[in-house]
């Protein structure tokens, strides 16, 4: 796979994910896993691209008053330190790819699920959810830090299944969650990051997702059906997870 192909893939991924409120970290990792890059650099690239894609979405959601800070804080307060710890952990390359493969399979299943839209009167009281939200945020944050994703691809389906809030509020929550987790994950990675990172390649990939993300956030939602996008992405992520596992699980090498 050439550098030009990766740039094109990253632009398309950013466009698709931005149109449904995600950063695309899982798919960036899926693409990079097929390319001979150091796994620590792979995680850094995915998180940087996440930040670029979701920052604009976060600003839009805040301006439109879709962000319920009272409900997001317990999720973020637990996820931020756990994402840092997960990212700072020293794991082998094979362990990383096995965790990544399993995560992609789980993300594919969660993305495929279709949940009924939640009305405001079906949402449980905020006070009863603090502990549960913190547990969910911490668990997803830790996994996100280890793998190098923002976690929204896990958080959004889980919150929809829980009838945590309306779809728009959950999308806003997932976007903020991805942003803070990605920043925390990068901070954790910097504690163990080795020299020799290809900054030119990272800059090119970040530029590609900036262009794709900007187009996706403005055009994607009006052109494509969100459910179709989610399910096509689910299949691609699931297949990528199988491919990663077959390359790194003992007995398949």
- Tokens matching residue 88: 């700072």
Q: Is the pLDDT of residue 188 over 60?
A: yes
Could you identify the residue written with the tokens 């637990």? 78
Output the six-digit token pair for 161: 């299944």
pLDDT at 220: 52
- Domains in the chain: boundaries: 3-248
pLDDT in tens, 137-166: 999 999 999 988 888 888 888 888 888 888
More confident residue, 248 or 146: 146
Percent of the chain whose pLDDT exceeds 70: 87
| 75-116 tens-digit pLDDT | 999 999 999 999 998 888 888 888 888 988 988 888 787 655
* Alpha carbon 61 to chain centroid, angstroms: 17
Euclidean distance between CA atoms 5 and 69, whole angstroms: 39
Q: What is the largest CA-CA distance in the chain?
A: 54
Confidence (pLDDT) at 226: 64
Least Cα distance to 144 among 191, 112, 115, 185 occurs for 185
How sure is the predictor about 201, in pLDDT bands with cuts at 50, 70 and 90?
Answer: confident
pLDDT above 70 for 238: yes
pTM beyond cutoff 0.85: no
- Which one, of 245, 27, 6, 232, lies nearest residue 150 by Cα? 27
List Cα–Cα distances, 241 to 50, 62, 112, 164, 247, in angstroms: 19, 33, 14, 28, 10
């Amino acid at each position: 796979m050439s550098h030009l192909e990766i740039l094109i893939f990253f632009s398309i991924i950013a466009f698709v994910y931005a149109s449904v409120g995600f950063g695309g970290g899982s798919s960036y990792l899926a693409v990079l896993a097929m390319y001979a890059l150091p796994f620590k650099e792979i995680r850094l690239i995915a998180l940087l691209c996440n930040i670029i894609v979701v920052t604009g979405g976060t600003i839009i959601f805040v301006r439109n008053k879709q962000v319920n800070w009272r409900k997001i804080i317990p999720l973020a307060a637990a996820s931020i330190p756990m994402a840092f710890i997960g990212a700072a952990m020293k794991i082998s390359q094979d362990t990383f790819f096995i965790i990544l493969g399993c995560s992609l399979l789980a993300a594919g299943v969660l993305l495929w699920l279709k949940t009924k839209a939640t009305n405001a009167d079906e949402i449980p009281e905020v006070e009863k959810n603090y502990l549960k939200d913190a547990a969910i945020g911490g668990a997803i944050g830790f996994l996100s830090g280890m793998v190098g994703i923002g976690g929204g691809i896990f958080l959004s389906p889980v919150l929809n299944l829980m009838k945590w809030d309306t779809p728009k509020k959950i999308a806003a929550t997932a976007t903020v969650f991805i942003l803070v987790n990605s920043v925390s994950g990068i901070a954790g990675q910097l504690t163990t990051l080795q020299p020799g990172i290809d900054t030119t390649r990272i800059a090119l990939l970040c530029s590609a997702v900036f262009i794709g993300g900007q187009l996706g956030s403005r055009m994607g939602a009006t052109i494509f059906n969100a459910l179709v996008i989610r399910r096509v992405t689910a299949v691609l992520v699931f297949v990528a997870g199988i491919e990663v596992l077959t390359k790194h699980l003992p007995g398949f090498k």
